[in-house]
Amino acid sequence: MKNKYLTLKKDIKKLVDRSSKFTKNHPYFVVIVMHELFRNLYYFDPYIKSDEKDHYKKLKFTVNNLNNFLNIVSSIGSYKKKLNNEKYDTQILFGKLWEERKKEKKLNSSKVLIELLKRAKISLNLIKGKKVLDMGCGSGRFTNALAQQGCNTAIGVDLGDHGLNVAKQFAKVNKIKNVKFIKASVLKLPFENNSFDFVFCKGVLHHTGNLYKGLSEIKRVLKKESYAFIYLYGSGGIFWDTRKWMRNVISKIPIDYTIKVLRDIGMPSRRTIFVDSWYVPIEDHVNKENLEKWFKKNNFLFKKYQNAKKTELEFRENKDKFFNEMYGSGELRYRIKKIK
């Protein structure tokens, strides 16, 4: 049975490589192909109207259809418009994505935070009246949410001016007083040792290029016997490997052009997962075993998040016999506790 997953993985790689040949003359269609492939990697995508419960069959069907689509595209004349492919660093990229997010109704970040911490078995009592840090806060949605949960002070750190401005404006409009935002690197935090009661770091360190330096900063600023929540991309399987292959293709097309195409085909602005996964300059995929060895070596107790909802890869971890072949190590969400 494993052989069929290896064959599917090879077929996906061939499709992505084939799409790369169309980026110059048919970028519009390449974005559509990448979009369809990407969203079908997610079995839980609510925009996929399919009764097919077998993710393998659904993905194989998608690959065949997209190859047929490229057969049609190959007969179309060249797209003549010259594209100016401007490069962005991580902070500017996410700044552009915050602009896209502003076009949608604001998410209830407090509700999302509470649910996230509850499933990670982190009590709000660990936050109330305490000093907490949001590492790589972006637009500050979770920093402000942490402040609203009754902590003494919530501090958000990020290098992106645009995201920090959005964060400060939200705090001002909503009269959140116990929050502060600082421009700084998560790899060199401007804080004393043992200065925080709780650290929140969601989807950040795999974009720094130095995961273990970031983890060492968590260890340094976190107080003894205190907790942190971290979320990192996993590695392996069809899911994560395809993401890497797609980045090499879509990066040849300007981000503004890609966003326009995604708007044309009706993708909501809030679904920026496509764009940030394709264009962010650094995206490391973390080896679960090495990560857990680091936790042990550095005196952290750790518990991998298990109470996944349907929109998270872990939801399938104990249900799919071939989870590793399809999703590798899944997504890495941990509650960690510093014991020394």
**Beta bridge partners of residue 198, listed in sequence order:** 132, 227
Q: How many other C-beta atoms lie within 10 A of the C-beta of residue 73?
A: 17
Distance CA 140, CA 155 (A): 9
Q: What pLDDT sits at residue 179?
A: 97
Q: Which residues contact 131 (CB under 8 A, 6 or more apart)?
A: 151, 152, 153, 155, 195, 196, 197, 198
280: part of which helix (H) or strand (E)?
A: none
Q: What pLDDT sits at residue 265?
A: 81
Q: What pLDDT sits at residue 65?
A: 95
Distance CA 136, CA 243 (A): 22
134: part of which helix (H) or strand (E)?
A: strand 131-135
Distance CA 40, CA 239 (A): 10
Burial class for 69, CB neighbours closer than 10 Å (0-12, 13-18, 19+): middle
Q: What pLDDT sits at residue 104?
A: 42
Distance CA 206, CA 237 (A): 18
- Angle at alpha carbon of residue 271, lines to 144 and 145, rounded to 5°: 10
> Superfamily for 109-235+285-338?
Vaccinia Virus protein VP39 (3.40.50.150)
pLDDT per residue, tens digit, the chain (340 aa), is 678 999 999 999 999 999 999 998 899 999 999 988 988 887 666 555 554 467 888 899 999 999 999 999 888 766 545 555 555 555 555 555 555 555 444 457 888 899 889 888 899 999 999 999 999 999 899 999 999 999 999 999 999 888 899 899 989 988 999 999 999 999 999 999 999 999 999 999 999 999 999 999 999 999 999 999 999 999 999 999 999 999 999 989 988 888 888 888 877 655 666 787 888 889 999 999 999 999 999 999 999 886 666 667 777 776 777 888 988 998 899 999 999 8
Distance CA 268, CA 162 (A): 21
Q: Which residues contact 269 (CB under 8 A, 6 or more apart)?
A: 100, 101, 103, 104, 263
Closest by Cα among 322, 309, 320 to 237: 322
**Beta bridge partners of residue 190, listed in sequence order:** none
Distance CA 299, CA 301 (A): 7
Residues of the chain with CATH 3.40.50.150: 109-235+285-338
Give alpha helix (H) positions in 174-236.
211-221
pTM of the model: 0.86
Q: What pLDDT sits at residue 105?
A: 43
Closest by Cα among 246, 302, 304 to 276: 246
Amino acid letter, 241: D
Q: Which residues contact 199 (CB under 8 A, 6 or more apart)?
A: 132, 133, 135, 218, 221, 222, 226, 227, 228, 229
Distance CA 207, CA 134 (A): 15
The rounded radius of gyration (Å) of the Cα atoms in the chain is 21
Label residue 73 left, alpha or beta by phi (over 0 means left) and psi (-120 to 50 means alpha). Answer: alpha
Tell me which residue has tokens 């064959």. 7
Distance CA 169, CA 204 (A): 22
Q: What pLDDT sits at residue 95?
A: 57
